[in-house]
Amino acid sequence: MRWAIGRLYDKCVELLNGADIQFRRSARLDVCLCLNLPIALVFLPASDIPSFVGKGSVDLGITGHDVILESQMSPYTTELLKLGFGKCSLQVQVPVNSGINDVEGLSGKRVVTSFEVLAADYFRGVDAKVREAKKAAGVNGEVNGEVEGGETKIEYVGGSVEAACALGLADGIVDLVESGDTMRAAGLHAIATVLTTEAVLIKSSTPKHPDLLPLIDLIVGRIKGTLAAAQYVLCEYNIRREVLAEAEKITPGRRAPTVTQLEENGWVAVSAMVEKKKIAQVMDELVKVGAEDIFCIKLENCRV
What is the per-residue pLDDT across 217-267, written as a single tens digit (0 to 9) for each?
Answer: 999 999 999 999 999 999 999 999 999 999 999 999 999 999 999 998 999
If one counts every other C-beta atom within 10 angstroms of the C-beta of residue 265, the result is 7
* Cα–Cα dist 245/247, whole Å: 5
Q: 232-298 maps to which CATH number?
A: 3.30.70.120
Picking from 79, 75, 76, the residue whose alpha carbon sits closest to that of residue 62 is: 79
**Radius of gyration of the chain, Cα coordinates, nearest whole angstrom:** 26
Element (H, E) at 233: strand 232-240
> In which residue ranges of the chain is pLDDT below 50?
143-147
**What is the per-residue pLDDT for 160?**
86
* Cα–Cα dist 260/268, whole Å: 6
Q: 88-197 maps to which CATH number?
A: 3.40.190.10
Which residues 6+ apart lie within 8 Å of 80 measured at CB?
Answer: 200, 201, 202, 203, 220
**What is the per-residue pLDDT for 2?**
65
Half-sphere exposure in the Cβ direction for 253 (13 Å, CA): 13
Picking from 271, 253, 203, the residue whose alpha carbon sits closest to that of residue 3 is: 203
What letter does residue 208 receive in the DSSP assignment?
Answer: S
Residues of the chain with CATH 3.30.70.120: 232-298
**What is the per-residue pLDDT for 304?**
84
Q: At what angle do helices 9-18 and 213-231 cross, to 10 degrees?
A: 100
pTM value is: 0.84
**Beta pairing partners, 94:** 189
Q: Do residues 89 and 196 make contact, with C-beta atoms less than 8 angstroms apart?
A: yes
Strand order in the sheet with 88-95: 153-156, 110-113, 172-177, 88-95, 188-197
* Cα–Cα dist 170/119, whole Å: 14
What residue type is assigned to position 79 of the chain? E
**What is the per-residue pLDDT for 145?**
44
What residue type is assigned to position 264 of the chain? E
The alpha carbon torsion through 166, 170, 174, 178 (nearest 10 deg) reads 0
Read off φ and ψ for residue 163, nearest 5 degrees.
-85, -10
Domain made up of 2-86+199-208: CATH architecture: 3-Layer(aba) Sandwich (3.40)
**What is the per-residue pLDDT for 28?**
75
* Cα–Cα dist 147/53, whole Å: 46
Percent of the chain at pLDDT > 70 equals: 94
What letter does residue 27 receive in the DSSP assignment?
Answer: T
Residues of the chain with CATH 3.40.190.10: 2-86+199-208, 88-197
